[in-house]
Structure 1
C-alpha cells in the first residue's frame, strides 16, 4: 500500500521558516540594543526603532498597495499596537537598565507561558501535552541561562516589575493580534500595529531629538537596524507564521531566542559562554523541539485485513 503524503507538514514549513527568521532577528536585537541603549533612553530608543520600522513598512505597503485594514481587524491591531509595539518596548528597555541581564531574561520569559494560558482561555486553542512539556523544559533552560548571566549584577524591585509588565504586554499583544490576522494580512496588521506603537511613544519625541544630536553614529545606526530588521521584517514574518499556527506554539518558539543570544554574543561580542549557559541554551532548544511535536493521534479501531498486528475482537473485549 502506498503511503499518502503528509501534506500537513508541507503546509507548515512556510510558517516554520518565517518563525525562524523572526527568532534570529529578535536574538540579534539584544546585541544592537547594547550599543543603542548606551546613548538613548528607553522611551527614545523605542520611538526611534518604531519610527524607522513604520517608515519602512509604510513604504512597502504603498508599493504593494496593501490598503486600509478591514474594520474587523482594527480591535486586534489597536490592542497589539499599543501593548506590544508600544508599552512592551519601553518597559523592556527601561527594565533592562534596572536589572541584570539574567534577571530580565528569566522574568520576560514567562511571556510564552502567559500566551499559552491566554490563548487557551480566550482563543480556545487548548493546551496539548507536547506544548506544556516543551514550555516547561524551555522555561527551565531560560532560568538556567538567566542564572548563569546574572553574575554580580544588581536588581531592583522597579526593574523586576518593568520586566513583568513587558512579559504581560507581550503576551496580551500576541493574543490580541491573532484574531486580527483572520481579517487582515500579515503586512497590513504589522504596518498599522507599528504605526500605533509609534504614536504611543510620541511623548518621547523631544528626548529622541535631543539625544540623537549627541549620540555616536554607531548607536543611531543600531537603532535604525532595530527598526528595519528586528521590528519591520521580524514582526511581519511573525504575523505570517502566527496566522498559520496557534499562538501557544508560536510563543513557545521564542524560547529559541535565549540560545541564539548566547551564540551571537559568543561570535559577535567575544563573550565566551560557560558550561551552565550552554546547558541552559540546549534546554531551550530541546523544549522548543518538544513543543512543536504533534500530539499522537488516537489509535484507529479499524484494523486492516491481513495486518500482522490484527487480532479478532469480540464484544467482551
Structure 2
C-alpha cells in the first residue's frame, strides 16, 4: 500500500521553466551585437553615420526578405504594423545612425557601456506606457546610471567636445533602443519574429534612403575591409541577431530580454582590445560600471 501511495502521489509541477531555445537565441543576439560595436568602430573612418546605417540595413533587408520568400511568409497582420513601424523608425533607423555617429567620437567599449542603460529605459517606458508605475528600485537605478553617465562624460572630457558629444549620442541611442524594444513587443503577438524583423528593417532602410548618394560615393573610396564590415553588420548583427532577438522576445518579457544585454559591454571591451587595440580608461570603466549597476538595481524592482 505504501508503494502504491508513493506512486500515486504527483510530484511538484515545474515552475517558470526556462525556454532553452529562447536563451540560445538571446545569447546569439548578445554576442553578435557586441561584435557590431567593434565593426562599426572599424568602419567609422570610411563611412558616415547615415551611409553606414543604410549599407547595413540594405544588406540586412535583402537577406531577410530572401528568407521570407523561401519560407513563404507574407505581409504581417494589420494589428502588427504600428509596432513594426515604430520599432523600424526608432530602432532600425534612428538608433543605428545615432550609434554610428557616437562611435566616431568615442571608443567601442565606452559606447557599449553607455548604450547599455537601454534596459532601464525599457523598464521606465514599460512603467509609463503599460501603467506599471515607477518602483523605488527603478528610480534609484536611474539615479545611479545617470551618475555613471556623468562620470563617463567627465572621463571623456579630456578628448574635447567631440568625446562629450559621443557620450550624449550614445545616451540617445540607448533611448531609441529602449523605445524600439517596447514598441516591438506588442507586434510579436500578431506576427512572426521574421516578419517583424524583416519589415522593421525595411522601414529603417527607407528612412535612411536620403544617405544613398553618400553611401555610393563612400563605397567607391572605402578599402575592402571597411566594405566587408558593412556587409557583416547587415548579415549578422542585423539580419540574424535581430531575428533571434525577436524570437526570444516573443517568448518572454521585454524587461527580462533587456537584462540579457548586461554582458555586451564586457564582450565589447574584450573584442575591441583584441581587434582594434582600444581599451577605455579606468575612470571610464568605473563610470560604465555605475551605469550597469544602475540598470541592475532597476531590474530588481
TM-score (norm 1): 0.78
TM-score (norm 2): 0.81
User: 5 Å matches for 1:218-257?
Assistant: 218-257=225-264
Correspondence for 1:154 among 160, 166, 179: 160
Corresponding residue for 2:220? 213
RMSD: 3.5
CA contact (8 A) 1:106 1:142 kept: no
Note the C-alpha offset of 1:253: 1.9
Gap change, CA 1:241 and 1:132, over 3 Å in 2: farther
1:96 partnered with 2:98:
no
Corresponding residue for 1:193? 200
Note the C-alpha offset of 1:141: 11
For structure 1, the 5+ residue unaligned runs are: 296-317
Note the C-alpha offset of 1:179: 0.5
Query: Which of the two has higher C-alpha Rg?
Result: 1
Q: Distance in 1 between matches of 2:98 and 2:264?
A: 19
User: 5 Å matches for 1:260-275?
Assistant: 260-271=267-278
Paired residues, number: 292
Q: Distance in 1 between matches of 2:118 and 2:66?
A: 31
Corresponding residue for 1:117? 124
CA contact (8 A) 1:52 1:224 kept: yes
Note the C-alpha offset of 1:242: 1.1
Gap change, CA 1:219 and 1:149, over 3 Å in 2: farther
Deviations 1:1-36 (A, max 9, x none): 7753535224x3222221111110000011111221
Gap change, CA 1:210 and 1:171, over 3 Å in 2: same
1:8 partnered with 2:13:
no
Q: Which structure has more RCO (C-alpha within 8 Å, separation ≥ 6)?
A: 2
CA contact (8 A) 1:259 1:281 kept: no
Deviations 1:265-288 (A, max 9, x none): 233345567777888888888888
Q: Distance in 1 between matches of 2:231 and 2:25?
A: 22
Deviations 1:223-282 (A, max 9, x none): 000000000111111111111111122222222110111122233345567777888888
Correspondence for 1:35 among 35, 42, 47: 42
1:57 partnered with 2:71:
no
Gap change, CA 1:263 and 1:84, over 3 Å in 2: same
Higher helix share: 2
